[in-house]
Amino acid sequence: MQQNSLSVVDVEAERFRHFIVSVTDYAIYTLSPEGIVVTWNAGAQRFKGYHPEEIIGRHFSVFYTDEEQARGRPARALELARTSGKFEDEGWRVRKDGTRFWASVVLDPIRDDAGELLGFTKITRDITERRNAAEELERAREVLFQSQKLEAVGKLTGGIAHDFNNLLNVVMNGLDLLRVAPDPAIRAKTLDTMERAAQRGASLIQQLLTFARQQPLLQETHDIGRIIRSFEAVLRRAVPSGMRLQLQLQPEVLPAMIDVTQFEAALLNLVVNARDAMPDGGVVQVDAAAVQLEAGEVEQLPAGAYVRVVVRDTGEGMSPETQLRAVEPFFTTKEVGKGTGLGLSQVYGLAQQSQGGLKIDSRVGEGTAIELYFPAVELPVDRLAASHEFAAEKVLLVDDQPDVLETAIGLFSHLGYDVLSANDGPQALETLRRHSDIAILFSDVVMPGMSGVDLAHIVRQEFPAIRVILASGYNQSALEGGKASADNFDLIAKPYRLSDLIKTLGAAQPG
């Protein structure tokens, strides 16, 4: 019995030895502890060109290139195999005829039961072809990438260049007009148009930068609901009168890490898209809520708590083909000059960079919902309380010029104010009566109907606690015969810059 099983082992060992010797796809050989070749199989002969009798007894460093030998690479390989139990490597090796091949090498130490080093086994594969194929693929990929880049640049030239040209035209015509037109009203209007063009150019650049990922995000924890609320005035201005904008914001705090400027730009892009999709009017709805996602529910987002922002319209919807390409930079179905194709790519870029996601739900003829997801941030309870305590001061901005109003809204929001707006005096008074917590009134002076100074006087009577700041393009003495300054309203000259605003607001602070 015992005798029998031993002989089976012997037979197995012999069979195994035979197998090793005759394997031709791998070079398998053994080395003495010093690196002298001890055994040599058919694969080794095939790869390296040495017959067993030519190589057995020689040092294995002959397989290395001269440079590698000079750098002591063979000895280091043995050393590493001995100390760490295994050594794996890829590199050039040399055949008997001097030609090279790219080898994948595994070197294992062999030890006896007492742990004494008996030698090494070495398995080598020739993967030159695989390496060549990989290099070829990499080259092809690079070429494809370059040609895609060129295509994108081509589209850029066609689309954006056209837009910029129009904007530059507005600015250059405006400059011509300013040189010759003496009428202050025309000059003011021209300045407004030029400013609008410059702002549109700036927002195009913003989108391009976001697209090129050149714009690092300024991520901070913010209550998304609050940001949308304070951005509402701008969104309203983006939709025409025949269209309704509805906000449905969960009243609880919705904290997430976002870049406010980029988020606002994304929101505006989505609302503008919704507007464009509803030439005959309709409803744009902006929702924000806290949601719990299962893994895989949205793109590759992991399961967890998210803040979801949805911009929904009842417009023409997207075909499946459009839907597939919608977030592609420069993809647009709009006529030249109307669309840049960068809106959704900005939105998508922002979602990606915020570790969030984007989902498009659209049906032709029914409408579109674009869902944005941002990872929710857990705020410690006392932080939440604090953020309520430090609720921003509310300011009411009044100007009859929509573009000027929009700029003012931007500046005040940037300064951290909670912004409300009105287009004229009566509307401002109505807003003041509805919101008892308005701290500052910031009004244009020259407006049709009730002037800013008239408004200021009523406000002083009815709401004595509210600080009044008047903005005018004319100098102080022109303000209704100095009445405004005599009444001690704070004044700021138009056009004002952010720094002017900070100075005036600082002076208007209590204490």
Sign (positive or negative) of CA dihedral 476, 482, 483, 488: positive
Instruction: Tell me how far apart the alpha carbons of residues 171 and 205 are, in angstroms, rounded to a whole number.
Output: 16
Q: Quick check: 109 binds ligand ADP (CB under 6 A)?
A: no
Nearest distance, CB of residue 339 and Mg ion, angstroms: 6
Report which of 420, 440, 444, 439 is spatially closest to residue 430, judged by C-alpha positions. 420
Report which of 81, 88, 87, 75 is spatially closest to residue 118, judged by C-alpha positions. 81
Nearest distance, CB of residue 206 and ligand ADP, angstroms: 14
**Total chain residues near ligand ADP (CB under 6 A):** 23
Which of 78, 268, 274, 479 is the binder for ligand ADP (CB under 6 A)?
Answer: 274
Sign (positive or negative) of CA dihedral 407, 412, 418, 424: negative
Nearest distance, CB of residue 265 and Mg ion, angstroms: 11
Report which of 99, 97, 123, 110 is spatially closest to residue 44, judged by C-alpha positions. 123
At residue 190's C-alpha, the angle toward residues 187 and 195, to 5°, is: 125
**Residue 190 or 207 with smaller CB distance to Mg ion:** 207
The one of ligand ADP, Mg ion, none whose footprint includes residue 420, by CB under 5 to 8 A per kind, is none
Nearest distance, CB of residue 344 and Mg ion, angstroms: 6
Select from 42-50, 99-107, 298-306, 329-337 the region that touches ligand ADP (CB under 6 A).
329-337
At what angle are helices 224-238 and 402-414 packed, to 10 degrees? 170
Nearest distance, CB of residue 158 and Mg ion, angstroms: 16
Which of 43, 329, 343, 410 is the binder for Mg ion (CB under 5 A)?
Answer: 343
Q: Please list every residue from 126 through 185 that binds ligand ADP, using CB under 6 A.
A: none
Pairing, β 467-472 against β 438-444: parallel
Q: Quick check: 357 binds Mg ion (CB under 5 A)?
A: no
Nearest distance, CB of residue 318 and ligand ADP, angstroms: 4
**Residue 273 or 314 with smaller CB distance to Mg ion:** 273
Residue 401 half-sphere exposure toward CB, CA atoms < 13 A: 22
Nearest distance, CB of residue 481 and ligand ADP, angstroms: 50
Which of 17, 51, 334, 483 is the binder for ligand ADP (CB under 6 A)?
Answer: 334
Nearest distance, CB of residue 72 and ligand ADP, angstroms: 59
**Residue 55 or 327 with smaller CB distance to Mg ion:** 327
Q: Give backbone dihedrals phi and psi of 66, rounded to 5 degrees, phi first.
A: -60, -40
**Residue 305 or 336 with smaller CB distance to ligand ADP:** 336
**Residue 109 or 349 with smaller CB distance to ligand ADP:** 349
Pairing, β 282-293 against β 255-258: unpaired
Q: Please list every residue from 260 through 289 that binds Mg ion, using CB under 5 A.
A: 273
Instruction: Tell me how far apart the alpha carbons of residues 308 and 112 are, in angstroms, rounded to a whole number.
Output: 64
Report which of 158, 100, 101 is spatially closest to residue 125, judged by C-alpha positions. 101
Q: What is the DSSP track for 409-450?
A: HHHHHHTT-EEEEESSHHHHHHHHHH-TTEEEEEEES--SSS
Q: Quick check: 333 binds ligand ADP (CB under 6 A)?
A: yes
Q: Quick check: 326 binds ligand ADP (CB under 6 A)?
A: yes
> Count of residues for the chain?
511
Instruction: Tell me how far apart the alpha carbons of residues 34 and 32 are, in angstroms, rounded to a whole number.
Output: 5
The one of Mg ion, ligand ADP, none whose footprint includes residue 322, by CB under 5 to 8 A per kind, is ligand ADP
Q: Quick check: 362 binds Mg ion (CB under 5 A)?
A: no
Q: Quick check: 331 binds ligand ADP (CB under 6 A)?
A: yes
Q: Please list every residue from 363 through 392 that binds ligand ADP, using CB under 6 A.
A: 368
Binding pattern to ligand ADP, positions 345-364, x when CB under 6 A?
x-------------------
Q: Quick check: 346 binds Mg ion (CB under 5 A)?
A: no
**Residue 328 contacts residue 292 (beta carbons within 8 Å):** no
Q: Quick check: 315 binds ligand ADP (CB under 6 A)?
A: yes
Select from 121-129, 231-239, 253-261, 270-278 the region that touches ligand ADP (CB under 6 A).
270-278
Q: Quick check: 318 binds ligand ADP (CB under 6 A)?
A: yes
Binding pattern to ligand ADP, positions 46-85, x when CB under 6 A?
----------------------------------------
Nearest distance, CB of residue 284 and ligand ADP, angstroms: 9
Which of 55, 344, 428, 445 is the binder for ligand ADP (CB under 6 A)?
Answer: 344
For residue 137 the two structure tokens come to 């693929």
The one of Mg ion, ligand ADP, none whose footprint includes residue 315, by CB under 5 to 8 A per kind, is ligand ADP
Nearest distance, CB of residue 241 and ligand ADP, angstroms: 19
Residue nearest to Mg ion (CB): 343
**Residue 329 or 343 with smaller CB distance to Mg ion:** 343
**Residue 342 contacts residue 330 (beta carbons within 8 Å):** yes
- What's the burial of 272, exposed, middle or buried (CB within 10 Å: 0-12/13-18/19+)? middle
For residue 207 the two structure tokens come to 């989108």
Report which of 167, 432, 403 is spatially closest to residue 411, judged by C-alpha positions. 403
Which of 124, 340, 354, 401 is the binder for ligand ADP (CB under 6 A)?
Answer: 340
Q: What is the DSSP track for 153-166?
A: HHHHHHHHHHHHHH
Element at 103 (helix H, strand E): strand 100-111
Question: Any idea which residue has 């025409």 for tokens?
Answer: 240
- Using CB under 6 A, list all residues that contact ligand ADP: 269, 273-274, 277, 313, 315-318, 322, 326, 331-334, 339-345, 368
**Contact positions vs Mg ion (CB under 5 A):** 273, 343
